[in-house]
Amino acid sequence: MQEIEQQATEIDFKWPLGYSAGATKSGIKQNKLDLGWLVSEVPASAAGVYTTNQFQAAPTKLTKATISADQQLQAVILNSGNANSCTGKLGKQNALKEQNMIADKLNIAPDLVGVASTGIIGKQLPMAKIEQGIDALQLSDSIAVTEAVLTTDTHPKTIAVQLDLSGKQVTISGFCKGSGMIHPNMATMLGFVTTDASVDGDYLQQLLIDETNNTFNQITVDGDTSTNDMVVLMANGMAGNVEIDDSSSEKEKFALAIHQVLAYLAKQIAEDGEGASKLVEVNVKSAATELEAKQVAKEIVGSSLVKAMLFGEDANWGRIMDAIGKTDASLDVDHVNVWLNGIQLVKNSEPATFDLQPARDSLSEHEVVIDVDLHAGNSVGTAWGCDLTYKYVQINAAYE
Amino acid sequence: MQEIEQQATEIDFKWPLGYSAGATKSGIKQNKLDLGWLVSEVPASAAGVYTTNQFQAAPTKLTKATISADQQLQAVILNSGNANSCTGKLGKQNALKEQNMIADKLNIAPDLVGVASTGIIGKQLPMAKIEQGIDALQLSDSIAVTEAVLTTDTHPKTIAVQLDLSGKQVTISGFCKGSGMIHPNMATMLGFVTTDASVDGDYLQQLLIDETNNTFNQITVDGDTSTNDMVVLMANGMAGNVEIDDSSSEKEKFALAIHQVLAYLAKQIAEDGEGASKLVEVNVKSAATELEAKQVAKEIVGSSLVKAMLFGEDANWGRIMDAIGKTDASLDVDHVNVWLNGIQLVKNSEPATFDLQPARDSLSEHEVVIDVDLHAGNSVGTAWGCDLTYKYVQINAAYE
C-alpha cells in the first residue's frame, strides 16, 4: 500500500458532535466494565460489515438486519464476556430484548438500535444482569465504553481525527477490541466508528465495505474468523457539512480519513494480538491485481513459520518465499524480490548478497516490515499481523 | 471417512521383489545419513504427485518432468539437509547432474532416475560431497535410506503390506519423512512407495492422485506448503500378477492397499509433527460433497485455536464451531453436531448436555478424535493433524 496521505489531523480521543456514551459493571465479568452504549442525538446514516463465519452470532445477525433495512442507526448496546453465539432461539430473543430495552429507554424505534456482543460462545446471556445494567447506563462524554468492550486486549484502542468538509470541521472517532479473552473461546473483533459528518447511507455502506477490505480484513492474529466480528460506522450529520455521497467532490478526502481511522485501529489489533511481541507489516508490490497483492501479504503474515521466525528474530527468508508460492497469485517465478526491514534478502528468486547480522539485528525492533515484489503487474497491497510466541500458546492452552 | 477395510496384511518392513537400496553419510549433515537411493532391477511403472507451491524446487520439477514423460522410473536418489530450492539455474544443473550420475552408475537412461531433496532453502547443493556420496552408495536389502531422508522427524516412518493379486503375493512398501529440521526452513514432506505388483502406469498415476487427496493432502502440521513436497509410487511388476489397470476386477483391492499404506504414512507424519504431543483425527459426515467434508475436516485440524485447545486439554467446542463456520461448505446452520472422543458437545448447533470432566479427561489421551455432522448430505471426509505446543514455537523460533 502506498504511504497513507495524512489528510486528517489526529486529535485526543473524544466523541464527534451529538454523540454520547456510557458503561457499567453489569456483572457478566467480575468487577469489570462489561456493558456500554453509544448514542447519537439524532438518527445517523449507518453502515456495517459482519463476519463471514456461517455461525453468525444472534446480535451480529440482528444488527446486520437492522442496519441494512434503511442504513440508519441511532444507538448501539454492547457487552463483553459473553458472545451470545451458538445460543439458538433464546439467544435471538435475548438480542431482540436488548434492542427493545434500549429503544424504550431512549424513546426511539427499535430499528435504530444495534446490538454487539463478544466473549464466550455457547452460553446464554445473563439477562437479569444485563437488564439491571441497562437500567444503570447513563450518557455523558465519558469514553469508558471503549474499555467495556475489551477482553484480553492489553489496552483500549481508540483514535479520533478531524478534517474540513465544505468549510465545516468534521470529527471521526473510532474504537475497537482485538483478540483474546481471559476465559476465551476465540478471537472476536468489534469496531465502532462515529462521525458528525453528513454522509449518504448507501455511500457510507460502500465506503465501509471498501475500506474494511483494505484494513480490518487485512489483519490476522491466528487465522480464525470469529462468529461475532462486526464493524459499525455511524454518521449523524451534526457537523453541518454538505452531504457526502458517491458524486461528491470531497468523497475522496472523507474516504481517506475513514481509511486512516480504520487502518490505525486494525494495526492496533494486530499489535495487541494474543501473546504478540511484534507488529508485522507486509507490503506487496508489482502484483497483477490488488486482490492478489492483498492475498499474498495476508498469506505471509498468517504463516505460522514466518510468525515463529519473527519471534525467534531470524532472517529465515525461505519461509517467506514458501508463503508467497503457496498462493495462486500471478508472479514471475524467477524474478521475485524480498526485503526485510529494508534489507534485500531475495533477488530474482535467489539469495541476495546480504549480511546476516544486520538483518537479524533489525528483527529486534518492535515493528518488522517485509516488502515483496512479485514482478507481475502494478498493484499493491498491505497486511498486518504479529509474531507467534510462547505466550500465544499459553493464553490459548493454559488459560485456566 | 469410513473405517478402512484392512484388505492387506501388515508385515515387517522390507523391500518388495526386485528393489534394493542404500544410504551414506555424504557430509551435507554432520555425521548423519543424508544421502540414499532406491533402485528397481527393472524399469517400473511410476506415478508422482508434487507440491502445488509455485516455487517448486529444482529436483521436484525434474522428477515431475521425468515421471510424466512415460510414467516410468527405475531409481530415485534422495538427500536431506539441503532442499535445492530457490537456487536458480545452478540448482537445475545440479539436480540434472545427480540424475546423470545415478544413470551412469546403474548404466540406465537418465529419464529413469528421479531426484528428491529436503532441507534448507536457498543454498546450493554441496556437489563435491554429493559426488563422493554417490560414488560410495551401494545396494542391498538395507533400509537405511528410510533414515537418510529424515530431518527433525523423531523416527523413520515405514510400512509394508502384502496382498494377493491374481494368485500372486504382492508387497507394497512405503516410507516418508515429515516436517521440521534441526536448521529448518520449512516443513517438507517426501514419500516413497514401492511395489512389485504389475500395474499400468497411467492407472497408477490416477490412483496416486486420488489416494494422495485422501491421505497426504489431508494432513496439516502448520499450514505451510513446502516447495519440495513429493510422493513417488513405483510398481516393477516382479510379483508376476496380471497387470492392474483401470478395467481390472482387482483394482479396488489394490487401491485399498495403496490407501492403507498412504493413510498410515500420512498419520505418522501428523503424529510426529513439529513439537506435537497428540495425533488429532477429524471425521466429517453428512456433508454435501466429499470435497466439502474434507475441507471442513482440514479447517478444524488446521485451526491454531483448536490445536492450542487440544494441547491445553480443554473441551472448548466454540473453537470447533468457529472453524466449521469459517468454511463455505454447505451446512444446516441450526443442526450441526460435534463429538469429542465420542462425547457429544454440540447438538443442533447449541451446547449439548455433557459432563465437562470426562470430556477433559478423554483429552489426556495421545489420540483425539473429533466427529462432526453437517446435516447437509451423505458425504464423508477425514483429516489428521497435531496440537500446537510450546515446543512447536521453540523448534521454529529458537532453533539455534
| Chain A contact set for B318 (CB, 8 A) | 83, 85-86, 120-122, 185-186
What is the mean pLDDT of the segment spanning A197-209?
Answer: 86
What is the mean pLDDT of the segment spanning A165-191?
Answer: 68
CA-based torsion, B133, B60, A293, A219: positive or negative: negative
pLDDT at B102 over 90: yes
From the list B312, B388, B396, the residue facing A305 with the nearest CB is B396
Q: Flag whether A396 is marked binding.
A: yes
C-alpha A159/C-alpha B303 separation (Å) is 32
pLDDT at A187 over 80: no
Which residue in A has a C-alpha nearest to residue B180's C-alpha?
A305
Fold of domain B9-269: L-amino peptidase D-ALA esterase/amidase (3.60.70)
| Chain A contact set for B277 (CB, 8 A) | none
Q: How far is CA A254 from CA A6, A169, A195, in A?
A: 11, 12, 11
Query: Cα distance from A328 to chain B (closest Cα, Å)?
Result: 7
Beta bridge partners of residue B117, listed in sequence order? B79
Q: Do B222 and A187 touch (CB under 8 A)?
A: no
Between B341 and B230, the more confident residue is: B341
Q: pLDDT at position A292, please?
A: 95
Q: Do B325 and A53 touch (CB under 8 A)?
A: yes
- Which residues of B participate in the annotated binding site for substrate? 151, 177, 188, 274, 396
Burial of B328 by CB count in 10 Å (0-12 exposed, 13-18 middle, 19+ buried)?
A: exposed
What is the mean pLDDT of the segment spanning B116-131?
Answer: 91
What is the mean pLDDT of the segment spanning B292-309?
Answer: 89
In the block, cell 476465540 appears at A186
Fold of domain A9-270: L-amino peptidase D-ALA esterase/amidase (3.60.70)
Q: Do A55 and B333 touch (CB under 8 A)?
A: yes
C-alpha dihedral over B137, B140, B145, B148, to 10 degrees? -40
What is the mean pLDDT of the segment spanning B189-197?
Answer: 81
pLDDT at B271 over 70: yes
Please tell me if the domain spanning A9-270 has the same topology as the one spanning A279-397. no
Which one of A299, A326, A357, A374 makes the best mutation probe of the B interface by having the most chain B beta carbons within 10 Å? A326
pLDDT at A183 over 50: no
**Domain limits of chain B?**
9-269, 279-397
Query: Cα distance from B323 to chain A (closest Cα, Å)?
Result: 7
pLDDT at B370 over 90: yes
Query: Cα distance from B116 to chain A (closest Cα, Å)?
Result: 18
Q: pLDDT at position B79, please?
A: 94
Percent share of chain B, pLDDT over 70: 92
Instruction: Kindly report the average pLDDT of chain B as a whole number.
Output: 86
Q: Which residues are CB-contacts of B353 (< 8 A; sequence separation ≥ 6)?
A: none
Range with the poorest average pLDDT among A177-181, A372-376, B113-117, B141-145? A177-181
Query: Cα distance from A69 to chain B (closest Cα, Å)?
Result: 23
For residue range A266-312, list pLDDT tens digits in order.
788 778 777 888 999 999 999 999 999 999 998 898 888 888 889 88
Query: Cα distance from B30 to chain A (closest Cα, Å)?
Result: 21
Enter the C-alpha cell of residue B138: 551401494
Q: Which residues are CB-contacts of B135 (< 8 A; sequence separation ≥ 6)?
A: none
Q: pLDDT at position A1, please?
A: 37
Q: pLDDT at position A6, please?
A: 58
Burial of B243 by CB count in 10 Å (0-12 exposed, 13-18 middle, 19+ buried)?
A: middle
Q: pLDDT at position A113, please?
A: 96
CATH of domain A279-397: 3.10.20.340
Q: pLDDT at position B53, please?
A: 75
Percent share of chain B, pLDDT over 90: 45
For residue range B51-61, list pLDDT tens digits in order.
777 778 899 99
Count Cα atoms within 13 angstroms, Cβ side, for B39. 21
Q: Do B55 and A322 touch (CB under 8 A)?
A: yes
A188 is known as an active-site residue:
yes
pLDDT at B223 over 70: no
From the list B52, B54, B311, the residue facing A393 with the nearest CB is B311
- Which residues of B participate in the annotated binding site? 151, 177, 188, 274, 396
From the list A123, A185, A303, the residue facing B224 with the nearest CB is A303
Q: pLDDT at position A184, please?
A: 29
pLDDT at B64 over 50: yes
Enter the C-alpha cell of residue A265: 485501529
Q: pLDDT at position A371, please?
A: 97
- Choice among A24, A152, A188, A389 that is catalytic: A188
Q: Flag whether A365 is marked binding.
A: no
From the list B304, B349, B393, the residue facing A222 with the nearest CB is B304
For residue range A102-123, list pLDDT tens digits in order.
999 999 999 999 999 988 878 8
- Top mean pLDDT of A53-57, A200-204, B132-136, B274-278 is at B132-136
Q: pLDDT at position A3, please?
A: 43
- Top mean pLDDT of A34-38, A299-303, B2-6, B239-243 is at A34-38
Break chain A down into helix, strand, coil percent, rounded to 5: 35, 30, 40
Residue A157's pLDDT band (cuts 50, 70, 90): confident
Q: Do B397 and A309 touch (CB under 8 A)?
A: yes
pLDDT at B161 over 50: yes
pLDDT at A246 over 60: yes
C-alpha B305/C-alpha A127 separation (Å) is 29
CA-based torsion, B353, B288, A50, A225: positive or negative: positive
Q: Flag whether A274 is marked binding.
A: yes
Instruction: Kindly report the average pLDDT of chain A as a whole number.
Output: 86
Between A190 and A89, the more confident residue is: A89
| Chain B contact set for A389 (CB, 8 A) | 393, 397
What is the mean pLDDT of the segment spanning B265-286?
Answer: 86
Q: Do B223 and A87 touch (CB under 8 A)?
A: no
Q: Do B351 and A187 touch (CB under 8 A)?
A: no
ipTM topping 0.85 = no
Q: Flag whether A152 is marked binding.
A: no
Closest CA to A76 of A90, A58, A61, A63: A63
Q: Do A187 and B305 touch (CB under 8 A)?
A: yes
Q: Do B304 and A224 touch (CB under 8 A)?
A: yes
For residue range A364-392, list pLDDT tens digits in order.
888 999 999 999 999 999 988 888 888 87
What is the mean pLDDT of the segment spanning B130-153?
Answer: 93
Q: pLDDT at position A32, please?
A: 94
Q: pLDDT at position B36, please?
A: 96
Closest CA to B189 of A282, A2, A322, A195: A322
